[in-house]
Amino acid sequence: MSLSKNIKVKEVIVSSGADRFLPFAVTLGLFVILFGTSSSGGGFQGGVIVASGCLLVYLGHGYKAAVGAINMEVIRINEAIGATLYILLGVCGLVFGARFCQNVFYKLGDVGDLISGGTITFMSYAVGYKVLTGVGFLLLLLLGLLAPEREEDEKKEDEAL
């Protein structure tokens, strides 16, 4: 078996593995964001798990496919929306005569319900949204710095064969 066949087989294994794990990573991340106030986890942890989907797409299909599937300008704008939502929820405390980021909607839901944490629940959602877009954007930026070197290395390997 030649070296180029080994590389192609490894690429197929990695891309199919990334395709298999991507839905699980996104689902687990969204679960951690949604139920973070009533179980372990929260917005930050769930956001990082969802953002790992960008890394899975890159590992499985390369930088061009990752940038083609994930629009960086849309992610950048949505990161600002997540930060704005968090600030607006924090200002709700001031509007209702309390401190910034104070839990003013604490009477929502019963104990154990999805929104039983009041303002904290919605702030956790905003943090999750901000982190998943911010970390996803940073991952794509960092991978973009690595992508040209990887393409040059592949060309050199092809020329060596």
Residue 80 reports pLDDT greater than 50: yes
- The pTM of the full predicted model, rounded to 2 decimals, is 0.76
Residue 1 reports pLDDT greater than 50: no
- In percent, how much of the chain has pLDDT > 90? 35
**Per-residue pLDDT tens over the stretch 128-137:** 999 999 999 9
**Per-residue pLDDT tens over the stretch 108-131:** 766 666 676 778 888 889 999 999
Residue 61 reports pLDDT greater than 80: yes
How far does Cα 108 stand from its chain's mean position?
28
Average pLDDT of every residue of the chain = 82
User: What's the rounded Cα separation, in Å, for the pair 91 and 55?
Assistant: 34
Residue 11 reports pLDDT greater than 60: yes
